[in-house]
Amino acid sequence: MSDRFVLAAAEDLEAVRTLTEAAYRPYTEMLGAPPLPVTTDYAPRIAAGEVWLLREPFGLAGLLVLELHADHGMIYSVAVAPAFQGQGHGVRLLRHAEQQVLAAGHGEIRLYTNARMERNLALYQSFGYREIGRRPNPHRPGWMIVDMAKPLTAIAARAWNEILGQTAAGDVTQEPARKRPHSPIAEP
């Protein structure tokens, strides 16, 4: 299967909004309010080259909002259109994010999600992300954010294991000694 990733353009703004709202609808209902990616103004993110679209022959399958920082990449949102869910597109979007972060010369990718989004947490953990902390969401009182990160290179993985106190086999032997700083962007 050939990946069809393209950067979103200004004319894609409404499609980005529509897909994001549809993809997050179950979480909006569960949480009683929309997660911040649903209410984000995507025009500046599209202009900054942060929004990637995954196009399939039958439509827009998903999108990725990826920020590249000085020393890491930060996934702001991964959204898969309901008609395309359950077909591996979320994993394809995560892989694309990792490829972009590596191409930028960074060895770590980060993300954060709502603690109640258990399906997302399970997906991220199965894909190699590890929880590095929890914190209250400053934009949504009562909501808790789970910060996660994943090393992308052998050197970064060794440093990551040292920070987390992991054994050579990759088992966590103790809690992280410190939280990694997070990006000052809108919270989920």
Is the model's pTM score more than 0.85?
no
Q: In terms of C-beta distances under 8 Å and separation of at least 24 residues, what long-range contacts does 20-23 make, across chains too?
A: 20/63, 20/77, 20/79, 22/81, 22/82, 23/62, 23/79, 23/80, 23/81, 23/82, 23/85
Question: How many domains are contained in the chain?
Answer: 1
pLDDT score of 187 more than 80: no
Instruction: Look at residue 2 in the predicted model and tell me its pLDDT.
Output: 54
Q: Which stretches of the chain are DSSP H helices?
A: 13-31, 36-39, 42-47, 89-103, 118-126, 154-164
Instruction: Look at residue 3 in the predicted model and tell me its pLDDT.
Output: 62
Q: Pairing mode, if any, of strands 108-114 and 73-80?
A: parallel
Question: What's the length of the chain?
Answer: 188
| 82: in domain | yes
Q: What's the pLDDT tens digit per position in 90-145?
A: 999 999 999 999 999 999 999 999 999 998 999 999 999 999 999 999 989 999 99
How sure is the predictor about 171, in pLDDT bands with cuts at 50, 70 and 90? very low
Q: What's the pLDDT tens digit per position in 5-57?
A: 999 999 999 999 999 999 999 999 999 999 999 999 999 999 999 999 999 99
pLDDT score of 175 more than 90: no
pLDDT score of 87 more than 50: yes
Number of Cβ atoms within 10 Å of the Cβ of 175:
11
pLDDT score of 183 more than 90: no
| 81: in domain | yes
| 96: in domain | yes
| 101: in domain | yes
Instruction: Look at residue 153 in the predicted model and tell me its pLDDT.
Output: 80
What strands, in cross-sheet order, belong to the sheet with 144-151?
A: 5-7, 51-56, 59-68, 73-80, 108-114, 144-151, 130-136
| 181: in domain | no
CATH number at residue 52: 3.40.630.30
- CA gap 76, 98 in Å, rounded: 13
| 160: in domain | yes
Instruction: Look at residue 169 in the predicted model and tell me its pLDDT.
Output: 39
| 172: in domain | no
pLDDT score of 79 more than 80: yes
Instruction: Look at residue 165 in the predicted model and tell me its pLDDT.
Output: 62
Q: Which domain holds residue 74?
A: 5-164
| 74: in domain | yes
pLDDT score of 179 more than 80: no
